[in-house]
Amino acid sequence: MYGKCGDIESSLSVYGSASKRTSECCNSLITSLLHCGITDDVFEMFGLMVDEGIEIDEVTLSTTLKALSLTTWASLDSCRLLHCCAIKSGYESDVAVSCSLIDVYSRCGHFELSRKIFEILPSPNIFCFASIINGYARNGLGSESVCLLEAMIRKGLVPDKVTFLCVLNGCNHAGLVEEGKFVFNLMKSYDIFPERQHFSCMIDLLGRAGLVCEAEELLQQAPGGGDSVMWSSLLRSCRVHKNEIVGKRVAKVLMELDQEDFAIYLQVSNFYSEVGEFEASLHIRELAMARKLTREIGHSSIEVKTYR
């Protein structure tokens, strides 16, 4: 309860007052830590359970794997270590553990291992299909994502909004416009109204393909008329495909939507500079400076392997 409320200090206090550390107690703290985004402590708790001989079950494994998939330093070795723990404890075929393994392997770029895990599942459910479809999408295999969606439907499983979003992401990464339109329209057949993420994905897909007018029309149908992320995506497409007319309309809306984001000022300023309206470009930069807006500094992380 405390973990879901974001009060991890109280969760730790209750855990510390327990007379005995059981797997249920440890699992509750692990899930609380994950909910609060404290992934490093999830692995510390997992190691504590192993060291103290506390029973590891499917909740422990699936939660720890989920935490691993959210880290920036996840590696093939760390995935295999937890996979081995799942095999030794007899939970490799558990649905939740299998879905987590599929997700973490694909996030590490080892999609062939994700596919092997999915293929040996005796009766994959909607969550298993969503995990493998998301893995396909993440690795740029859009056509395979659509095929899996069709296979899922043939099995009598009903896709949900998460599954559709995963397939749309796959179509977007692979530039599959017609397939994306098919999937987007198919949602209505299951009484699922597209949400902000679905619209954002389709707008990006159409824009990348140069269909900026169609993307603008779709954006106007999005909930609340779309957000700054959608309009910013469309403006990038207008810059790439040199569509000055749509770009000016998009830039105007974008400036009205978010007046506190320096990145938006910079993007709009660059757009006007590219179309030759240098005075407008300079004016927008001056507005950003007058508001004392600053740009957030980006950070990168790389994994360095050392050999002896």
Q: Is residue 51 part of a domain?
A: yes
Separation CA 229–CA 223 (nearest Å)? 13
Residues 73, 98 within the same domain: yes
Q: Is residue 108 part of a domain?
A: yes
Which residue is associated with the tokens 């553990």? Answer: 97
Q: Is residue 304 part of a domain?
A: no
Residues 21, 104 within the same domain: yes
Mean predicted lDDT score pLDDT of the chain: 89
Residues 245, 187 within the same domain: no
| Cα distances (angstroms) measured from residue 242 to each of 19, 202, 210, 278, 284 | 68, 20, 9, 16, 20
Residues 113, 1 within the same domain: yes
Residues 137, 235 within the same domain: no
Question: What burial letters (b/e) apply to 61-84, b meaning 16+ CB within 10 Å?
Answer: bbbbbbbbbebeebeeebbeebbe
Separation CA 290–CA 269 (nearest Å)? 15
Q: Give me the mean pLDDT over the 65-77 stretch.
A: 83
Which residue is associated with the tokens 């106007």? Answer: 220
pTM for this one?
A: 0.81
Give the pLDDT of residue 177. 96
Helix (H) or strand (E) holding 154: helix 142-154
Residues 96, 179 within the same domain: no
> Quick one: pLDDT band at residue 71, thresholds 50, 70, 90?
confident
Q: Please check whether residue 203 is in contact with residue 234, taking contact to mean a CB–CB distance below 8 angstroms.
A: yes
Of 87, 117, 147, which one is at a domain's C-terminal end?
A: 117
Number of separate domains in the chain: 3
Of 117, 142, 177, which one is at a domain's C-terminal end?
A: 117
Q: Give me the mean pLDDT over the 127-152 stretch.
A: 91
> Quick one: pLDDT band at residue 303, thresholds 50, 70, 90?
low
Which residue segment(s) compose the domain that 181 sits in? 123-193
Residues 167, 233 within the same domain: no
Lowest mean pLDDT among 123-132, 253-262, 298-307: 298-307
Of 67, 85, 117, which one is at a domain's C-terminal end?
A: 117
Residue 193 vs residue 300, higher pLDDT = 193
